[in-house]
Amino acid sequence: MQTLGVSIERQAKANESVPKPILVVYRREARVDAIDEYSRRLVNALCSSGVSARYIADGLSSALRQVSDYGSILLQYNPFSYGHWGVAPGLVRDAIGLRRQAGVSLAVSVHEAWVDTDDPARARWRSMLMGTYQRIQLVALLEMADVVIVATQPLARKLGRPNAIHVPVGSNITPVPITREDARGRLGVCDELVVSLFGTSHPSRALEYATAAIALLAEEKGKGTVKVLNLGLGAPQLRLATGIAVYTPGHLEAEELSLRLRASDILLLPFTDGLSTRRTTLMAGLAHGVAVVGLYGAGTDDVLSRSPEAITLTPVGDIGAFTNAVLQLAGDPLRLRSAGSSGQDLYARHFDWPIAADRIRSALTGTSRDWHTATQP
């Protein structure tokens, strides 16, 4: 009987030492949702690293019904995913309910914070009302959180959370195992310069930079030598001169999208807040070895601005600098290939999914080998 008692006690202690599973929570609404895909890939990466994890995409209220099975809840936060106009009182209520559960920690991963009411373009009464409420809502959530995770370093400063854990997003598109030359051959591309754009018609995309750069390339090199791939579901119509070949295929399966990125020479990513580590389109470009040209702005992370060999950045507000940077890069084939290779290396060292999984695991379990707060480069 004594031996049995000792055995039961040892088993109980062993069970206590095994971390309980992680539940990743989001509320998906759209058929194509970058945060939804991010969450799925993160859970797969956690499981591949030996961490038990599961994903549910129908909100925190569903998680409350099974919370006792998990040690940590990781809430993926974008206000507009949880309520009309980004107003989600039910989410705060559910977070309060979660805090009443003993032994369960809450981590909030902030992808979007609130509508920026300091932007003159958004200084309308509705935007100001939304922004004010969203600030209050997010502050309430973060006060209840045991761990705060941010997709960019500037976001941590915006939230006033210098100890937030910086976990950049990874690529939502797995590169197909094919060379650039074979990809171009399959698409019927010969010697043309393939310039790609990737994304929807979101107001943060400064498409006038991209179209100006393409126009300059066509003028310098000849319209027939430039091919434009306008990628992504909901890609906007581009206003370009007649004679410039533009392909807007709409929704593509992941392998077909990867094939086109592999075949690209340059990826243009001008964002009004600057290129940052929350952009899955950037990560897809880096992972595929495409030379990236973007803008440096208030939202740009140090790790990107300190990597000029991999990413070409010009200041927000200077279209001429952007177009000239694109022209110079396109005119230097060796530099073009080198930038793509350096980008792949940058992605592998800082942004790939095993790295994100390790940082998340570290933040939630405190068993990290090497993770950084958002204030560190």
In tens, the pLDDT along 82-100 reads 998 899 999 999 999 998 8
Higher pLDDT, 375 or 300: 300
Q: What is the mean pLDDT of residues 24-47?
A: 92
Sheet of strand 311-315, all strands in order from the earlier edge strand to the far edge: 245-247, 226-231, 193-198, 266-269, 291-296, 311-315
pLDDT of residue 120: 52
In tens, the pLDDT along 152-211 reads 999 999 999 888 999 999 999 999 999 999 999 999 999 999 999 999 988 899 999 999
Q: What is the mean pLDDT of residues 350-376?
A: 74
In this predicted structure, the answer to whether residue 11 has a pLDDT above a threshold of 50 is no
Hey, what are 293's tokens? 């040209």
- Asked if domains 2-170+353-365 and 180-350 share a fold, the reply is yes
Higher pLDDT, 325 or 32: 325
Q: Are 235 and 248 in contact (CB under 8 A)?
A: yes
Residue-range domain boundaries for the chain: 2-170+353-365, 180-350
In tens, the pLDDT along 99-119 reads 888 789 999 999 999 987 655
Q: What is the mean pLDDT of residues 134-140?
A: 95
Instruction: Please give the DSSP secondary-structure letter assigned to residue 366.
Output: S
Give the number of C-alpha atoms closer than 13 A to the C-alpha of residue 157, restricted to the C-beta side: 10
For residue 212, give the nearest of 328, 331, 295, 326 by alpha carbon: 326
Domain 2-170+353-365 has CATH 3.40.50.2000: yes
Q: How far apart are CA 359 and CA 293, in angstroms?
A: 28
Domain 180-350 has CATH 3.30.390.50: no
